[in-house]
């Protein structure tokens, strides 16, 4: 991990332990080459989370500080399809000032490790303007 021009630190690299050695992984292409094929729901979840853009949410409850666009909060999960997996995750902007919206995101992870966002819709947002970062 390293700071990339902001007060917040983002994970832009991975160091993995494989075959008794530490190995630096700089890109999703390198990550894919090391870990594909994706052959389980847990691996699909790992691939989607490795992008650094999304998060998995579980055991969610509605809080008073937020306004909700959905009746029920749905936890993260993975569906198996004929050509890979659909991973249900969440996205919240990592920094800034304003009303912060969290969206539900569907991410397709193919068996060969390619990742594509296929749907996004708002789930909840802060009632007030906040600053994060």
Instruction: Please say if the pLDDT value at position 9 is more than 60.
Output: no
| Whether the Cβ atoms of residue 113 and residue 37 lie closer than 8 Å to each other | yes
Query: Residue 89's CB: how many other CB atoms inside 10 A?
Result: 23
Question: CA 68 to CA 73: how far, in whole Å?
Answer: 9
Question: CA 99 to CA 45: how far, in whole Å?
Answer: 28
Q: What is the pLDDT of residues 20-60, one digit of tens each?
A: 999 888 888 888 888 889 999 999 999 899 887 899 999 99
Q: What is the pLDDT of residues 58-72, one digit of tens each?
A: 999 998 989 999 999
Q: What is the pLDDT of residues 80-132, one digit of tens each?
A: 999 999 999 999 887 778 788 999 999 999 999 999 999 999 999 988 877 77
Q: What residues does each domain of the chain span? A: 39-132
Is the pLDDT higher at 80 or at 6?
80
Could you give the angle at the alpha carbon of 108 between the alpha carbons of 119 and 105, nearest 5°?
A: 35
What pLDDT does residue 3 have?
Answer: 45
Percentage of residues of the chain with pLDDT beyond 70: 90
| Whether the Cβ atoms of residue 115 and residue 107 lie closer than 8 Å to each other | yes
Provide φ and ψ at 69, rounded to 5°: -100, 0
Question: What element of type H or E holds 41?
Answer: helix 41-50
Q: Which of 56, 47, 53 is nearest to 108 (CA)?
A: 47
What pLDDT does residue 10 have?
Answer: 53
**Cα dist. 86→24, 48, 110 in Å?**
28, 10, 9
pTM for the full predicted model: 0.82
- Virtual torsion, Cα 49, 55, 59, 63, nearest 10 deg: 180
């Amino acid at each position: 991990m390293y700071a990339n021009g902001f007060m917040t630190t983002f994970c832009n690299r991975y160091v993995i332990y494989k075959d008794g050695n530490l190995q630096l992984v700089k890109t999703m292409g390198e990550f894919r080459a090391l870990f594909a094929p994706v052959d389980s729901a847990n691996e699909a979840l790992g691939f989607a989370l490795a992008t650094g853009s999304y998060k998995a949410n579980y055991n969610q409850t509605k809080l008073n500080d937020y306004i909700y666009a959905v009746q029920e909060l749905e936890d993260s999960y993975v569906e198996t399809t004929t050509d890979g997996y659909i991973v249900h995750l969440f996205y919240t902007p990592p920094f800034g000032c304003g009303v912060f919206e969290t969206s539900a995101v569907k991410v397709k992870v193919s068996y060969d490790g390619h990742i594509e966002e296929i749907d996004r819709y708002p789930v909840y947002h802060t009632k007030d303007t906040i600053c994060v970062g």
